[in-house]
Amino acid sequence: MTQVLDKPVESPAATPAERTARRRALLEWIAVHSLGVAAALFFTLPFVFVLLTSLMSDSQALSRDLIPDPWQWENYRRVLDTPGFLTWWRNTLLYAGLGTVLTVVSSLPVAYALAKFRFRGRNATLMLVISMMMLPPQVVVIPMYLFWAKQLDLSGTLWPLIVPMAFGDAFSIFLLRQFLTTIPNEYIDAAKVDGCGELRTLLRVVIPMARPGIAAVALFQFFYAWNDYFGPQIYASENPGAWTLSYGLESFKGAHHTDWNLTMAATLLVMAPVILVFFFAQKAFVEGVTLTGVKG
């Protein structure tokens, strides 16, 4: 449809039928793109209002003004100087970073076996993995909490959330398996002919070919931990030194009552890393979303 704009709309050789067709195409282009702009406003204006409010002075944030006057950039400094905020950052990076590494390392062999080994009960195992994917953490949280808090005395830390990630994650296993089934068997057979065992085949042949899938899984897992609210609420709430950003952000609002400007600055500081990571890894991410099984 871009050609419609590049060419002159009325060329002398055009028959009346062609002219109507072109006019219709142009009208459609205008209609579609107006709708697109309207939708874009709906999706972006909340970010814009949050950003504008985060730059207002304390008193202006309590008014109905929409544009900051003056632009108070030091609000971000004030948020970062809030006691605890940097600790929450560190804890979130620990939870998300270490959790992601453990998840990928422990899920890969499982996904590989489910994708490429032949064994009895394979489909049943896969069904079980898929059912696990759909279960919320609340289903088993009571015994899990009693186990971590009463028996191991680990409440007030993030370890009850990180340690289980060393034992495979259903969603990651499923996503990786979907990806690994697309790797042709010939590559794997060739590695075996060359004398590689299954582990060497996985490390030398499969993993290098599965890099996009692994990237998608790592991203999803990182975002999951970054966004997790329920986990830190259960295990870390009693110890502010173990809070993550998602959990601490809410308390930030509590400590600053009506300071919407500071709260919105903190909100943007929690959103920003996720959005930055997305821009750097957009392709892997979108590929992962489509891989979740809907293309089958």
216 binds other proteins (CB under 8 A): no
Q: Which is nearer to other proteins, 9 or 32 (CB)?
A: 32
Q: Which is nearer to other proteins, 66 or 86 (CB)?
A: 66
Q: Of 16-24, 68-76, 77-85, 268-276, which part binds other proteins (CB under 8 A)?
A: 268-276
Q: Which is nearer to other proteins, 13 or 193 (CB)?
A: 193
Kind plus residue range of the DSSP H or E element containing 238: none
- Mark out the alpha helices in the chain (DSSP H runs): 2-6, 16-54, 58-61, 74-81, 85-116, 122-133, 141-145, 159-162, 170-180, 185-193, 198-201, 207-209, 211-227, 230-235, 245-255, 260-280, 282-291
Q: Measured from the CB of residue 154, what is the shortest distance to other proteins in angstroms?
A: 14
Single residue of 16, 17, 64, 186 touching other proteins by CB under 8 A: 64
Structure tokens at 69: 């006057």
55 binds other proteins (CB under 8 A): no
Structure tokens at 246: 């998602």
CA distance 247 to 240: 10
CA distance 138 to 151: 19
141 binds other proteins (CB under 8 A): yes
Q: Which of residues 85-124 bind other proteins (CB under 8 A)?
A: 106-107, 109-110, 112-119, 122
How many chain residues are in contact with other proteins, going by CB under 8 A? 107
Judge contact between 238 and 38, C-beta under 8 A: no
63 binds other proteins (CB under 8 A): yes
Residue span 8-47 as binding mask against other proteins, x where in contact by CB under 8 A, dash where not: --------------------xx--xx-xx--xx-xxx-xx
Angle subtended by helix axes 85-116 and 211-227, to nearest 10: 140
190 binds other proteins (CB under 8 A): no
280 binds other proteins (CB under 8 A): no
